[in-house]
Structure 1
């Protein structure tokens, strides 16, 4: 029986005259796009263009909400209340939802970005507030969970939840992900091997050599990794001859 898994990618993170990522080149390789909605990155024009690019490839369209911090790319923690976290996410869902509606499309999922994700991971109160906000907007959305605590909380809500793993970032022994301030190119062969390991075994090796359980149904590839297209091509070539089937994110919920 084939192993079914999705590939999600953070994208739509350009704005103004600033270009980040290779969205058009990435979309043919993925099954779900997490699109910035103007807070940590993105702007109205980029949002429209990215939605159209993803839709043309039959890719799931989700929102990638972050903190209002373009200068820090949403990676600097800001002291916010649970209510503020909820309202930030609701606002960004609404923005991308409206953009998608103009193209006759609907959102499928939500995946928090950067420091916002860290806040939700560290504070159950903030996490529950955000989940409640998502439910109030659209309870049919899928929550793409970046750690097991958030996944467990999401499964207690009316939302469907999918747990994701990472192959172009490294893990600490506690299963937290090491996010570098500046992304560097990764070895495509190593990344492709990690993809297969997570998909088939549900495990990955930490930086110390410890084997970690990562029971993921979706794997994230970051659109701002310098050689992201080379990585994705290596993954697809690595999957030839395996029982791994790439599927839509929402088919797994």
Structure 2
């Protein structure tokens, strides 16, 4: 397993947002966390990265993560695309992408420019707008840029926090098409997503959170057909889609 989380509890002051969560991510897998608003999905990602107060154990590539500064984790290949994207609005698309490879420039790695071409092949719109300021792009384009910037770091595990949030349905389908391509290329993904139907269709395995606790887990295809998941998260239309 590339990531093993055992008995993770996340606290904000006296409030426990996540309680005693255990999950794993195998190399090349797509794993999704689904659940309602406030279930603790984003808190799980923050807990893995050490951005909030936690207890429990997080192992990455078999080693216990004790010091979890974001920069050090990125050097290890553990990269997150946050919900708010956190782009450099006053810089161009291409400058944002190249900043994603900054640690690689420092190590004088090869292949950075080839990876830039690869990201442009995944997101042709970014290539068209490579001289445009990131802050002037649409929400969907900014999400593509945030994912592309993360990919420039050659992540071994990519954490994605609500990549479809606030986007038009057409753009959501485009984002998930790209995630499907990344899966086909063997990129390991841990995906937090409210669009349960699309997330479970993509995922090898899924975990369902409610009120900070794990209530279900299983293969994505199995959860997609599970009556409890259908009733709580997918609705009638998704039930029809799952059945068809």
TM-score, normalised by the number of residues in structure 2: 0.37
The structure richer in strand per residue is 2
- Higher RCO (C-alpha under 8 Å, 6+ residues apart): 2
TM-score, normalised by the number of residues in structure 1: 0.36
Larger radius of gyration: 2
